[in-house]
Amino acid sequence: MALHISSGCFTVMCNSRVHRIRAVASEGSATLNTVVEEKVKLGGSDLKVSGVGIGAWSWGDTTYWNNFEWNDRNEKAARAAFNTSIDGGLTFFDTAEVYGSGLALGAINSEVLLGRYIKERKEKDPEVEIEVATKFAALPWRFGRQSVLNALKDSLCRLGLTSVDLYQLHWPGVWGNEGYIDGLGDAVEKGLVKAVGVSNYSEKRLREAYEKLKKRGIPLATNQVNYSLIYRAPEENGVKAACDELGITIIAYSPIAQGALTGKYTPDKPPSGPRGRIYTPEFLTKLQPLLNKISEIGEKYDKTPTQVSLNWLVAQGNVVPIPGAKTAEQAEEFRGALGWRLTDEEVAELRSVASEIKPVIGFPVEKL
């Protein structure tokens, strides 16, 4: 084991794995708050992923992101985000068969892009660790368990893989939900996936899916839901408590509220495109006290508002946030959310300030 110390950050080399330990001095105290960066286990499965993942919703998209256009510049930036994420230890990537859909110029499927980036990276570094998650779209014309397997095989083709680490139902179906859960189980038994999960599931649906898979000896590993400081519905509707009880990990999408918690938007400079209709100048004005508190706490740790907001979710326990990275700079910033931990008092203080703000839901709005 080798130990290197630099600028209050320790790097430990052990069994070919790098663990970075962030040392944070408590105010008025010499004690250190240290957290070792390790991969986390998803629910009752054997799958381990990085404590912060990367969402690939924006990759190839022309309907919500990228100013309604996808071009070579966008792709170069996404590729850089992918590689920077891996270099920083963020090796878990979440995509979906419907990501990258769009009629505007240059739209390309997110799975295709992720598969392309994985292939390129593995050609240079065959031993690189990458965990891939994708999702089945519960479209009204899809019926039964075979539709899940068919869609999964199409996803694998686009990704250029023989299996994925995590396969999820993107949202509850209008009908056929039992068949969809059966399909997840079949995918595990056929060796096409290592673990399975759901997304946007209410407590009731979550428990039903858990029990159905349990009868086959298959754990329900995850429930991917909208969860952030300004959208805490999982804490209020029983989903977070049920996940903790059943041993199901929450994957938090939109964990920085699609950029609203980064501090880069103001009432005078709201986000463009569809997000501007959600995070309006009026809402951003109401958000300012929370952003001030986030910044105040961040200064104590030399952390950005983005890093504090992500760490707040990590500090809840049993939560893996997956912010979207469109650039290398964003991916580099996200890695700074790990290796340290907000105190319980800071977590509670941020929740208290956030509770004064009426939550908003970013697109897509999917019924639980």
Is pLDDT of 242 > 50?
yes
Rounded mean pLDDT of the chain? 87
pLDDT range class, residue 2, cuts 50, 70, 90? very low
Give the pLDDT confidence score for residue 8 in this predicted structure. Answer: 36
Mean pLDDT of 237-259: 96
Active site residues: 99
Does 16 share its domain with 43?
no
> For the purposes of burial, counting CB atoms within 10 Å of the CB of 267, is it exposed (0-12), middle (13-18) or buried (19 or more)?
middle
Q: Is residue 366 part of a domain?
A: no
Give the pLDDT confidence score for residue 294 in this predicted structure. Answer: 97
pLDDT range class, residue 4, cuts 50, 70, 90? very low
Does 147 share its domain with 169?
yes
Mean pLDDT of 89-112: 87
Does 284 share its domain with 315?
yes
pLDDT in tens, 198-231: 999 999 999 999 999 999 999 999 999 999 999 9
pLDDT in tens, 314-346: 999 999 999 999 999 999 999 999 999 999 999
pLDDT range class, residue 32, cuts 50, 70, 90? very low
Q: Which residue has the higher pLDDT, 29 or 150?
A: 150
Mean pLDDT of 115-132: 97
Q: Is residue 360 part of a domain?
A: no
Does 23 share its domain with 69?
no
Per the structure, how many domains does the chain have?
2
Give the pLDDT confidence score for residue 316 in this predicted structure. Answer: 97
* Segment (H or E) for 365: none
Is pLDDT of 27 > 90?
no
End-to-end CA distance of the chain: 48
Q: From its phi and psi, is residue 150 left (phi > 0), alpha (psi between -120 and 50) or beta?
A: alpha
Q: How far apart are CA 221 and CA 199, in angstroms?
A: 11
Q: Which residue has the higher pLDDT, 264 or 149?
A: 149
pTM of the model: 0.88
Indicate which CATH number applies to the domain containing 322: 3.20.20.100
Q: Is residue 363 part of a domain?
A: no
Q: Is residue 318 part of a domain?
A: yes
Give the pLDDT confidence score for residue 37 in this predicted structure. Answer: 66
Does 3 share its domain with 63?
no
Does 32 share its domain with 43?
no
Mean pLDDT of 167-184: 93
Does 50 share its domain with 1?
no
Q: Is residue 30 part of a domain?
A: yes
Mean pLDDT of 255-266: 90
* 66, 26 contact by CB (below 8 A): no
Mean pLDDT of 83-104: 90
Mean pLDDT of 183-199: 98
Does 5 share its domain with 45?
no
Domain span at 23 = 1-36
pLDDT in tens, 349-366: 999 999 998 776 654 434
What percent of the chain shows pLDDT beyond 90?
A: 72
* 300, 17 contact by CB (below 8 A): no
Q: Which residue has the higher pLDDT, 24 or 80?
A: 80
Residue with tokens 């740790």: 301
Mean pLDDT of 241-264: 95
Q: Is residue 367 part of a domain?
A: no
Give the pLDDT confidence score for residue 26 in this predicted structure. Answer: 41
Mean pLDDT of 101-108: 70
Q: Is residue 368 part of a domain?
A: no
Does 30 share its domain with 131?
no
Give the pLDDT confidence score for residue 358 in this predicted structure. Answer: 79
Nearest Cα neighbor of 98 from 149, 148, 70, 60 is 60
Does 5 share its domain with 134?
no
Q: Is residue 302 part of a domain?
A: yes
Does 109 share its domain with 5?
no
Does 190 share its domain with 76?
yes
Q: Which residue has the higher pLDDT, 277 or 19?
A: 277
Mean pLDDT of 79-95: 98
Tokens of 331: 């991916």
Give the pLDDT confidence score for residue 31 in this predicted structure. Answer: 33
Is pLDDT of 191 > 80?
yes
